[in-house]
Structure 1
Amino acid sequence: CWSDGCQDADILAGFDDAISDGVDIISISLGGGRTRDYFEDAVDIASFHAMKSGILTVSSAGNEGPGRSTISNFSPWSLSVAASTIDRKFSTKVQLGNNKIYEGVSINTFDLKNKTYPMIYGGDAPNTTTASSRSSRLCFSNSLDKNLVKGKIVLCDTIRTNGIGALLAGAAGTVARDQDSIDYSSLFPLPASCFNLVDGRNIFQYVNSTSAPTATIFRSSEVNDSLAPYIISFSSRGPNPITPEIIKPDISAPGVHILAAWSSISPVSSVPGDNRFVTFNIISGTSMSCPHVSGAAAYVKSFHPTWSPAAIQSALMTTAAPMSSGINMEAEFAYGSGHLNPLKAANPGLVYDANETDYINFLCGQGYATRLIRLLSKDNSTCPKDTNGTVSELNYPSFGLSTSPLKPFSRTFKRTVTNVGSPTAVYRANLSFSTGTLKIRVNPDVLSFTSVGQKLSFEVIVEATMDKAMVSGALVWDDGEHKVRSPIVVFI
């Protein structure tokens, strides 16, 4: 990749090299941009080729959240990862000249040694030769008057400019207030802290209440986040923009405030003018959550080297820890099957397996022309005559159903599971769902195996009349040792 992004040709070439080298797992932490169909997206095309070679591709969900259908990398033959929090977050306090202390968020390594500095509002210090008060209040690059800002702590109306305007103007620090939710800490090239609208308004009122406002910014401190794990605001959400009934993202993993290796030639904050250089940094993004799952996938494959990409994906998804829709209102469209549990994934009990033919049939069911399918498969694949127009028969480890409001419906999903646990295991179906309007039946509701590797099929029948935008539940196959969990999501 380059400074202006990743070119399709380079992505495809990278996958080709990885496939040629015989890697076990491909981890690709990139995404975003406009939604493209499976046949137009380089990662979707390349990950299909990897799947044909027995390689699972693990990809980032993207950092475009929390809007609906913002997810990147949503093909069923790859594993898409959302970003969840860990139990550590960072707090940066600011003390004003009136002795009031406000607790904001940032990762501030600068030590002002409790020294106070004059404060100024960016909107009151425009660089009139190049900018207006509208741009200076946002502290855009070159928008601030250096003569007014130098040596002061400048109050800005957004965190989106990463402090570059304040840095270029010679500010001693910056305090930012933002209308968006601030649920994670960022790095800045100068002392900084970020506040929500309420605290930001109080700070703004203080600056305007005195002719000589002052403040100091303290170094960050680590605090416990008792609600973790939950999905962070920036993590891209579903539904899948191309095939909504393939629930995406698939799974979540730690992606916030992650201590990670860092290039020693890149500034800490990635902002030009930041002269701090380190070999480790604290990073947030689905680019951090993706490699957690990639490592777990490699861990599973080390125990089961002959398993297909779909089997490994299934093991990771069906053993994920359920997450709370009370914190993440988008529920499965935020966190997929749940939070990664590598230890359980190595011994899932059952797996939902799939291969190239299954994915070709899935594409056929979506109405794609044979010529397009062959562009993807690079062979003479054809569609079976009895292909239907749903995704209900793709052997996927989750169940998704899109419907219309207040219109009764019934959908039958067909699935096959492979026994990878005890040879004589007996699994019983347990169902849970969040509303009485949703009726779910499983037939048969008991699966009795006689050998490892044996495959048994079942149906899930979902009936309802939707009076909500989304309801969800889960099917859990339980043999007393393993709990093989698959989310069931019905949405409008």
Structure 2
Amino acid sequence: MAKLRAAPSGLLSCLLVLFLSSASAITEDSQEKQVYIVYMGSLPSRVDYTPMSHHMSILQEITGESSIEGRLVRNYKRSFNGFAARLTESERERVAEMDGVVSVFPNKKLQLQTTSSWDFMGLKEGKKTNRNPTVESDTIIGVIDSGITPESQSFSDKGFGPPPEKWKGVCSGGENFTCNNKLIGARDYTNSGTRDTEGHGTHTASTAAGNAVADTSFFGIGNGTVRGGVPASRIAAYKACNATGCGMEALLSAFDDAIADGVDLITISIGGESAHSFETDSIAIGTFHAMANGILTVSSAGNSGPEDSTVCAVAPWILTVAATTTNRGFVTKVVLGNGKTLVGKSVNAFDMKGQKYPIVYGKSAASSVCEAENAALCEPECLEASLVKGKILVCASTKGLKVAESVGAIALIFKSLKPDVAFIHPLPASGLPEKDFDSLVSYIESTESPSAAILKTEEIFNRTSPLVGSFSSRGPNTIAVDILKPDITAPGVEILAAFSPDGELSQGDTRHVKYSVLSGTSMSCPHVAGVAAYVKTFYPKWSPSMIQSAIMTTAWPVNATGTGIASTEFAFGAGHVDPIAASNPGLVYELDKTDHIAFLCGMNYTSKILRIISDETVTCSEDKEISPRNLNYPSMTARLSVPHSNFTVTFNRTLTNVGPSSSTYKSKVVAGHRSNLNVNVTPSVLSFKEVNEKQSFRVTVTGSDLDSKLPSSAYLIWSDGTHNVRSPIVVYTGY
């Protein structure tokens, strides 16, 4: 769980005839069955088409069994077409060859990827922020996650009227679960009820759209008012995840229902450790059909940073979010016996009242079965309990968190690999950066009776922010190499929001709370979902791409932690989300399903497959204009194959005027990271006379000798003196 501790038109035909001999049937029976997802694109437009009957007939034909009880796992029949079933490998191969089948792929488990964050972003509480409360109340956010805690104050319906008439969903929360006029819908795909027993889904839902709840904290830490970005909006919870993860087949069911239920926006803080091809990625499939139905999906980038090529949500119809810090951070100080104070990171609510206790370094407490180096790391079975009991244990890794209590330690100090993030631990603890940890070890080794005190966590403000979290997944995009991912960043470090009293704060932690502090791109994702919903309240008829463009082109410039690729646009995309600016972007880059189909043509998807996916006649031409880099995306990216030669790259784009009817925008190019690019914009001035008028332009980028390890970048800004429409331009090679 990565909160860091997350059809063709006409009837589809099946023409495959199976001739199974008794010998082959025996072979089939002996093969191991596993759950596969059979994706069949859009629902056929014919009114006499019944998905359930079609799916059953396919299974009966493939398996040779008249009864498919125990075979069929799920049907996707409300918003797109397909099913999940238990198949042998040979059955999977035969299904994959059928007409009308786009892809067949194994069901995998994906993982789940405020009191000050909204103020930091500029979305102030109450009358300090311009809002459209009537439209906000008609806005429904679908949360695909680990469920929700319906009793939380964050989801109280006090002051709410009945759900919007457009709502077509249900409240199927299970036993002892009640919806209300705030939490208007609940569905479960885990056979355990929609109640959240992990805490993750409750946290993300409240961050996006929770009510304002005053005087909230984690045992006094981070005290203030917890609220979502659009507290007047409604929430529908779709539980596709439990303690073991999130099944792809369950995720597709959640998308299928959320689209048909009438949500306006989907937030999903779920993903894998790497990207998958679109036709075998349940989230890419579900979000494509959401986009086609006018629903924007906001997704987390992943928690596999700072390594490159780790971003997992890479389709252009998804708004992908990386995680950054805010101007508030949590620190836990360690006071040594000699009076020196070291500043570490944790969310430590245990108050040791400043009392100093003896400290012992792991390698000084090594058991007879381990080397000192392993004991220094506090590897399991490597510590002698009699030498640790009643003392503060010091470990050169986080492994001490698993063994500290079992060997009798009263507290823990460890070397942190992610010293920019604070986590909750089941005992008093502080994670020190390497330099301070080495200073601690020197003190221990030079002192006869070393001691220390671990203080309760303090808040610090006005630090340099936003900075990209070290854990946040980075690009480049490994599937659509000419699309920059992640798209945007938002607060995802040390976020206080609602939590499930049934959830475990950390491994082995017995405390139970209603509000907790979590970090991860899971936390940044609902921040952007809240911003997207906020923008939509002013422009209810805007398409998903218009909202995405508004958010990306109005972003703040941002820095990233680390060196190399971690400090480039591959870490932060267009920048840090700015809610107020996003509600008045001036110009937007607009896309629809047809544009995305052309983009997929450019990625060499066949007309036949795209016809099944879109339920439209598709003809993929060989015209270079359908190059993926010409998708009308708010960022411009090109991967080149030859790093040391001269190059010329062009991008064709079109802007739509959503500002004043009569306006003139002038182009300006500013330097980015390792800016050795020459950028020419034609025309350099765009004049609009009407709202919704479109104007096209071409960007030509030239240069030479690209760095094989780092991208080169610049920024194109269109400005009318009031609005600044900013797009990153990234050229790279060598990945």
C-alpha distance 200-134 of structure 1, shift in aligned 2 (>3 A): same
C-alpha distance 458-388 of structure 1, shift in aligned 2 (>3 A): closer
Query: Structure 1 residue aligned with 2:542, among 304, 307, 323?
Result: 307
Alignment of 1:200-239 (within 5 A): 200-239=437-476
Matched, 1:478 2:719: yes
Alignment of 1:334-413 (within 5 A): 334-374=571-611, 376-377=613-614, 380-386=617-623, 390-403=627-640, 404-413=642-651
Matched, 1:441 2:680: yes
C-alpha distance 294-242 of structure 1, shift in aligned 2 (>3 A): same
Show structure 1 runs of 4+ deviating over 6 A: 325-328
| Structure 2 Cα separation of the partners of residues 137 and 17 of structure 1 | 51
Q: Which runs of 5+ in 1 are unaligned?
A: none
Paired position in structure 2 for 1:271: 507
| Structure 1 Cα separation of the partners of residues 599 and 645 of structure 2 | 26
C-alpha distance 278-385 of structure 1, shift in aligned 2 (>3 A): same
- The answer (yes or no) to whether the contact 2:469–2:561 under 8 Å persists in 1 is no
- The answer (yes or no) to whether the contact 1:472–1:488 under 8 Å persists in 2 is yes
- The answer (yes or no) to whether the contact 1:122–1:139 under 8 Å persists in 2 is yes
C-alpha distance 262-326 of structure 1, shift in aligned 2 (>3 A): closer
Spell out, residue by residue over 1:331-370, the C-alpha distance to the aligned partner (whole angstroms, 9 max, x if none): 2111111111111111111111111111111111112234
Spell out, residue by residue over 1:157-191, the C-alpha distance to the aligned partner (whole angstroms, 9 max, x if none): 112x371210222211001014x351121111111
Matched, 1:172 2:410: yes
User: TM-score under structure 1 normalisation?
Assistant: 0.94
| Structure 2 Cα separation of the partners of residues 439 and 216 of structure 1 | 57
Paired position in structure 2 for 1:29: 269
| Structure 2 Cα separation of the partners of residues 193 and 347 of structure 1 | 43
- The answer (yes or no) to whether the contact 1:176–1:200 under 8 Å persists in 2 is yes
Aligned sequence identity (%): 45
Spell out, residue by residue over 1:34-93, the C-alpha distance to the aligned partner (whole angstroms, 9 max, x if none): 431111111111100100110000000111101111111011011000111101112212
C-alpha distance 181-2 of structure 1, shift in aligned 2 (>3 A): closer
- The answer (yes or no) to whether the contact 1:230–1:328 under 8 Å persists in 2 is no
Whichever residue aligns with residue 485 of structure 1, its letter is R
Q: Which runs of 5+ in 2 are unaligned?
A: 1-240
Q: Secondary structure at the match of 1:74?
A: coil
Q: Secondary structure at the match of 2:289?
A: helix
Measured after TM superposition, the shift of residue 401 of structure 1 is 1.6
| Structure 1 Cα separation of the partners of residues 711 and 401 of structure 2 | 39
Q: Which moved more, 1:116-125 or 1:193-202?
A: 116-125
Paired position in structure 2 for 1:321: 556
- The answer (yes or no) to whether the contact 2:273–2:310 under 8 Å persists in 1 is no
Alignment of 1:148-159 (within 5 A): 148-159=387-398
| Structure 2 Cα separation of the partners of residues 388 and 466 of structure 1 | 26
- The answer (yes or no) to whether the contact 2:344–2:419 under 8 Å persists in 1 is no
Q: Secondary structure at the match of 1:430?
A: strand
Q: Secondary structure at the match of 1:361?
A: helix
Q: Secondary structure at the match of 2:243?
A: coil
- The answer (yes or no) to whether the contact 1:328–1:334 under 8 Å persists in 2 is no
- The answer (yes or no) to whether the contact 1:162–1:271 under 8 Å persists in 2 is no
Spell out, residue by residue over 1:120-178, the C-alpha distance to the aligned partner (whole angstroms, 9 max, x if none): 1223334557x66555433345553333222111011112x371210222211001014
C-alpha distance 436-228 of structure 1, shift in aligned 2 (>3 A): closer
C-alpha distance 375-233 of structure 1, shift in aligned 2 (>3 A): farther
Whichever residue aligns with residue 439 of structure 1, its letter is N
- The answer (yes or no) to whether the contact 1:48–1:377 under 8 Å persists in 2 is no
| Structure 1 Cα separation of the partners of residues 518 and 400 of structure 2 | 14
| Structure 1 Cα separation of the partners of residues 660 and 592 of structure 2 | 24
| Structure 1 Cα separation of the partners of residues 378 and 668 of structure 2 | 55
Matched, 1:414 2:655: no
Measured after TM superposition, the shift of residue 208 of structure 1 is 2.6
Q: Secondary structure at the match of 2:490?
A: strand
| Structure 2 Cα separation of the partners of residues 263 and 326 of structure 1 | 31
- The answer (yes or no) to whether the contact 2:706–2:712 under 8 Å persists in 1 is no
Measured after TM superposition, the shift of residue 323 of structure 1 is 2.0
Measured after TM superposition, the shift of residue 374 of structure 1 is 4.7
Give the length in aligned residue pairs: 487
Alignment of 1:104-183 (within 5 A): 104-126=344-366, 133-141=372-380, 143-159=382-398, 161=399, 163-178=401-416, 180-183=417-420
- The answer (yes or no) to whether the contact 1:31–1:62 under 8 Å persists in 2 is yes
Paired position in structure 2 for 1:491: 732
Q: Secondary structure at the match of 1:297?
A: helix
Q: Which moved more, 1:373-382 or 1:478-487?
A: 373-382
Q: Which moved more, 1:208-217 or 1:457-466?
A: 208-217
| Structure 2 Cα separation of the partners of residues 389 and 145 of structure 1 | 66
Query: Structure 2 residue aligned with 1:19, among 246, 259, 263?
Result: 259
Measured after TM superposition, the shift of residue 381 of structure 1 is 3.5
Whichever residue aligns with residue 184 of structure 1, its letter is V
Paired position in structure 2 for 1:86: 326
Paired position in structure 2 for 1:452: 691
Paired position in structure 2 for 1:244: 481
- The answer (yes or no) to whether the contact 1:361–1:387 under 8 Å persists in 2 is no
- The answer (yes or no) to whether the contact 2:266–2:529 under 8 Å persists in 1 is yes
| Structure 2 Cα separation of the partners of residues 289 and 323 of structure 1 | 15
| Structure 2 Cα separation of the partners of residues 250 and 432 of structure 1 | 19
Q: Which moved more, 1:283-292 or 1:91-100?
A: 91-100
Paired position in structure 2 for 1:45: 285
Q: Secondary structure at the match of 1:392?
A: helix
Paired position in structure 2 for 1:289: 524
Measured after TM superposition, the shift of residue 418 of structure 1 is 0.9
| Structure 1 Cα separation of the partners of residues 614 and 257 of structure 2 | 18
C-alpha distance 133-437 of structure 1, shift in aligned 2 (>3 A): closer
C-alpha distance 464-151 of structure 1, shift in aligned 2 (>3 A): same
Matched, 1:254 2:494: no
Paired position in structure 2 for 1:97: 337
Whichever residue aligns with residue 386 of structure 2, its letter is N
Whichever residue aligns with residue 62 of structure 1, its letter is G
Spell out, residue by residue over 1:296-332, the C-alpha distance to the aligned partner (whole angstroms, 9 max, x if none): 1011111111111111100110111122479775321
Whichever residue aligns with residue 311 of structure 2, its letter is I
Paired position in structure 2 for 1:69: 309
C-alpha distance 437-196 of structure 1, shift in aligned 2 (>3 A): closer
Paired position in structure 1 for 2:104: none
- The answer (yes or no) to whether the contact 1:238–1:247 under 8 Å persists in 2 is yes
| Structure 2 Cα separation of the partners of residues 489 and 85 of structure 1 | 24
Spell out, residue by residue over 1:358-388, the C-alpha distance to the aligned partner (whole angstroms, 9 max, x if none): 1111111112234543564455544234256
C-alpha distance 241-162 of structure 1, shift in aligned 2 (>3 A): farther
Measured after TM superposition, the shift of residue 467 of structure 1 is 4.1
Q: Secondary structure at the match of 1:27?
A: strand
| Structure 1 Cα separation of the partners of residues 379 and 405 of structure 2 | 10
